[in-house]
C-alpha cells in the first residue's frame, strides 16, 4: 500500500507558489491579453491575409517592402482578428502560428485567474521550463510556417 502511495506522490505536480506581486503580475498579464483581444475585435481582418495592423497607423511590413517576402509574423494581427470572430480557417490561412498563439493566449486568461485564486501557478511546477516550452513551440511554429510559405 505504501508503494502505491509513494508512486502517487511522485506523480503529483507541486505547483509553484506565488505571492501578492505574482498575483498582481498575473492579473495585469490577463488584462493585457483581454485588451489585445478587444483590439483584435476592433480591427477588421484584411482580406489579403496580412496588413490588418496598418489600421493602427503602423507601417507595412519592412521585410515585405524591402525584400519582397513576408516576415515570420506577417498575418499575425489578421489571424488574431479572424480568431476573435470565430473564423478559425481564415485565422490559420493568415498565419498558422497566429492561430496557435491566439489559442494559447485565450487559455492563459482563465489560467491566470485560477492561479491567482490558488496562490500557486496552476499545474506549473517550474515556471522557467513552462515559459521555455511555450516560447519554443510558438517560435518554431512561426519559423516553420514561414519556411513553408517561402517554399510554396
Q: For the chain, 152 residues long, give each residue's pLDDT as a single digit of tens.
A: 555 555 555 567 788 899 999 999 999 999 999 999 999 999 999 999 999 999 999 999 999 999 999 999 999 999 999 999 999 999 999 999 999 999 999 999 999 999 999 999 999 999 999 999 999 999 999 999 999 999 98
Domains of the chain, by residue range, sit at 17-151
- The rounded distance, in Å, linking the Cα atoms of 152 and 149 is 5
Q: Check residue 128 and give left, alpha or beta (phi > 0: left; psi -120 to 50: alpha).
A: alpha
Predicted TM-score of the model (pTM): 0.86
8-state DSSP, 152: -
Burial track 125-141 (b if 16+ CB lie within 10 A, e otherwise): eeeeeeeeeeeeeeeeb
Amino acid at each position: 500500500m505504501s508503494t502505491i502511495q509513494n508512486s502517487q506522490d511522485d506523480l503529483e505536480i507541486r505547483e509553484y507558489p506565488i505571492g501578492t506581486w505574482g498575483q498582481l503580475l498575473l492579473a495585469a498579464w490577463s488584462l493585457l491579453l483581454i485588451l489585445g483581444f478587444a483590439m483584435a475585435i476592433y480591427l477588421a481582418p484584411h482580406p489579403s491575409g496580412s496588413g490588418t495592423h496598418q489600421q493602427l497607423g503602423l507601417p507595412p511590413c519592412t521585410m515585405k517592402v524591402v525584400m519582397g517576402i513576408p516576415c515570420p509574423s506577417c498575418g499575425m494581427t489578421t489571424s488574431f482578428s479572424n480568431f476573435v470572430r470565430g473564423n478559425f480557417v481564415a485565422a490559420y490561412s493568415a498565419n498558422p502560428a497566429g492561430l496557435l498563439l491566439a489559442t494559447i493566449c485565450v487559455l492563459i486568461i482563465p489560467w491566470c485567474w485560477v492561479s491567482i485564486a490558488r496562490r500557486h501557478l496552476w499545474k506549473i511546477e517550474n515556471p522557467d521550463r513552462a515559459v521555455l516550452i511555450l516560447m519554443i513551440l510558438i517560435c518554431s511554429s512561426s519559423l516553420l510556417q514561414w519556411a513553408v510559405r517561402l517554399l510554396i
